[in-house]
Chains A and B, each alone.
Chain A
Amino acid sequence: MTRHPTPAPPSGRNDQTQINVVSRRDLLLRARTGGILMIIAPAALLPRAIAEDAAVDLPARAAVTGQPSAEATIRRLSRGATPIEGKMNINISEIAENGNSVPFTVSADSPMTDADYVKSIHIIAAGNAQPHIGSFHFTALSGQASVTSRLRLAKTQDLFVLVEHSSGRFVLAQRTIKVTIGGCGGT
């Protein structure tokens, strides 16, 4: 992370504490011009003014980090279609002790013929810095729309599974997972 020194405004508190005060405007500008990962630094490392500002203005976080929200991710993956509720099997523990590696199995019922099969299963974690976990694609030769893998969860959060059928139908389901120790290199 490169943080360019910015002249501190002549306010008493900042003169004494000797921290570079970066205005929110600067921060946003810099974020947009490539220094986006600044936001991921623990809030404690940032000058207090920014930390407070960020706390007030949290919805802007997605815009600052350049990462879409879970909703936007689902909208993108479903290409604007409105997902419906339907049958699928999600096998994941409700309480994950280690967020670095949470095993999951997702499967969807489908005849898996050339005419009617599950095209893709998308996994979205609403509380991760990058919500899209992965997309798994099937063909009639898969025989069964089922995938097992291991994912990272930064904190306790909602997990969404979006199933895309060859008919263009999208099915969405949600699970809440409690995470004891977060993953995603949070330390």
Chain B
Amino acid sequence: MTKPRVKLPDTCKIGDIIEIKALISHPMETGQRRDAAGELVPRNIIKTFQATFNGQPVFAADLQPGISANPFIAFHMKVIGPGDLELTWTDDDETVLTERQRLAPT
């Protein structure tokens, strides 16, 4: 799980509803695939994704193996003021990756 890429609008105003796009590299192994030797590849997926703004929950996702590799998730948020947007991905290995972005509405 590497390289989270998060895209926020360049500018926004208080009261706007903005779209946030998040992409991360991850194989999302389903646990059903076999390698060349015929052995099952153990399941390893990103289980959860969470987004908070100044600590308040905005959006969350429970993912299953049916989500494609390198999960892309886009969701919306109401701009209530300046603050920090925190995005967290957690996978089956309990690897946690957090990305923080500053939001400064004009």
Contacts and interface: CB of A to CB of B under 8 A. Distances in A.
Contacts of A105: 74
Contacts of B60: 136-137
Contacts, number: 110
Interface in B51-89: 53, 56-69, 71-78, 80
* Size bracket of the A interface: 35 or more
Interface residues of B, number: 33
A147 B75 contact: yes
Contacts of A1: 38, 40
B80 A134 contact: no
B contact face: mostly helix, strand, loop, or mixed: strand
Contacts of A148: 21, 72-75
A182 to B, nearest CB: 12
Contacts of A185: 30, 32-34
Interface string A76-116: 00000000000000000000000011100100000010000
B68 A152 contact: yes
Interface of B: 17, 21, 30-34, 38, 40, 53, 56-69, 71-78, 80
